[in-house]
Amino acid sequence: MSSTPRTARGRATRERILKSATELIAERGIAGTSLDHVRALAEVSKSQLYLYFPDRETLLREVASSTCDGVLDGQADILADFHSPAGIERYLDALVELQFDFERPSGCPIATLAGQLDPQDEQARLILADGMDRWEAGLREGLEQMRDGGELKPGTNPSKLATQTLALLQGGLVLARVRDDAAQMRLAADTALALIRSAVLE
């Protein structure tokens, strides 16, 4: 999107800007991040910002996109195991661990951004929705694999089960963040595990 640099130097600069913006916003929120902060962290000048991004709004949308990519990339390896009871348990454990790992539970970066972006900005919403869709697709595909392998009770709807799982995870992340208590995520993940187990044969 936006203007694409033609030289390697330009590409590196653009990357540095986007990475800095994404980092700062994850830490301090959109309201707490000015273009000047981004400029300083990325070590670029004002004109570079505006050479690669037409305006702040566009940069924010790209940050949204890059945030989604970060969330998805960050769980790609464990999500790949989400197609057996043991793999599902490992996946959920890993998500819970993430909330315990830092000083305080940070919640889901996608959902957090959703609350910060201009409610009028439909384009931004679509970017975040796509992130959620990709996440849910990962869950659904694992469950479909199990269904195709005859591991699920007949009548189980992998698509619906994936949405239910994602809802539980998102809810757990919200509660963990608001209550500053990662155990809330633990409980939500356990509930999701039980829900899935109840659809597994044996």
Stretch of residues binding DNA (CB under 7 A), selected from 36-44, 90-98, 151-159, 193-201: 36-44
| Residue 5 found at the interface with DNA (CB under 7 A) | yes
| Cα dihedral: 144, 147, 149, 153 (round 10) | 160
- Residue 201: φ, ψ to 5°: -65, 150
| Residue 47 found at the interface with DNA (CB under 7 A) | yes
| Residue 51 found at the interface with DNA (CB under 7 A) | yes
Three-class secondary structure of residue 200 per DSSP: strand
| Residue 28 found at the interface with DNA (CB under 7 A) | no
Q: Tally Cβ neighbours within 10 Å of residue 108.
A: 24
| Residue 20 found at the interface with DNA (CB under 7 A) | no
Residue 45 contact partner, candidates its own copies, DNA, none, CB within 5 to 8 A by sort of partner: DNA
Give least dist CB 182 to its own copies, A. 13
Query: What track of x and - describes contact with its own copies for positions 92 through 131 (by CB under 8 A)?
Result: ---------------xx-xxxxxxx-xxx----x--xx--
Give least dist CB 14 to DNA, A. 8
| Residue 55 found at the interface with its own copies (CB under 8 A) | no
Residue 63 contact partner, candidates DNA, its own copies, none, CB within 5 to 8 A by sort of partner: none
DSSP state letter for 117: S
| Residue 169 found at the interface with its own copies (CB under 8 A) | yes
Question: d(Cα 133, Cα 2) in Å, to the nearest integer?
Answer: 24
Angle between helix 122-148 and helix 158-179 axes, rounded to 10 deg: 130
| Residue 57 found at the interface with DNA (CB under 7 A) | yes
Q: In the numeric block, which tokens belong to residue 101?
A: 């790992």
* SS3 letters across 145-181: HHHHCCCECCCCCHHHHHHHHHHHHHHHHHHHHHHCC
What residues from 58 to 97 belong to the interface with its own copies (CB under 8 A)?
none
